[in-house]
Amino acid sequence: MGNHNEFGKLGEQKAVDFLLEKDYEILLRNYRYLKAEVDIIAKKEEELIIIEVKSRTSGFFEDISDTITPKKIRLLTMAADHYIQENDLEVEVRFDIITVIRKGRRFEVEHLENAFYHF
């Protein structure tokens, strides 16, 4: 596994740890449907949260809006829809982005709720 894959997995774990501290229930990690992958599917109260995790080093600056393309949004919404149908759920759905930025030995986690809308 390449270093970027290992760093991505570490970033996802930091995001999971962050969510657990905020009383989210983690339902699934790395949910796949066709060509789509959802990093984290979580639940808080009666809301289903589809979460895309972006891990970066402090030397890499990119506007988060540039990292989530219209194609990525279509794939995430397709996978979320499939998960909901597959599990016969009637829930509100929210799409979030969590960025995990490594700064030396520290990690900064930022959580953007309702990062985009699926309609």
More confident of the two residues 16 and 3:
16
Residue 95: give the domain boundaries: 3-116
Rounded distance, CA 107 to CA 115, Å?
21
59 falls in which pLDDT band (50, 70, 90)? low
| Cα distances (angstroms) measured from residue 95 to each of 35, 54, 61, 105 | 18, 14, 22, 29
Taking only the tens place, the pLDDT of each residue in 36-55 is 999 999 999 999 999 999 88
Instruction: Please count the structural domains in the chain.
Output: 1
CATH code: domain of residue 23: 3.40.1350.10
Half-sphere exposure of 110 (CA within 13 A, CB side): 9
Taking only the tens place, the pLDDT of each residue in 72-91 is 899 999 999 999 999 999 99
Residue 116: which of 71, 81, 68 has the closest Cα? 68
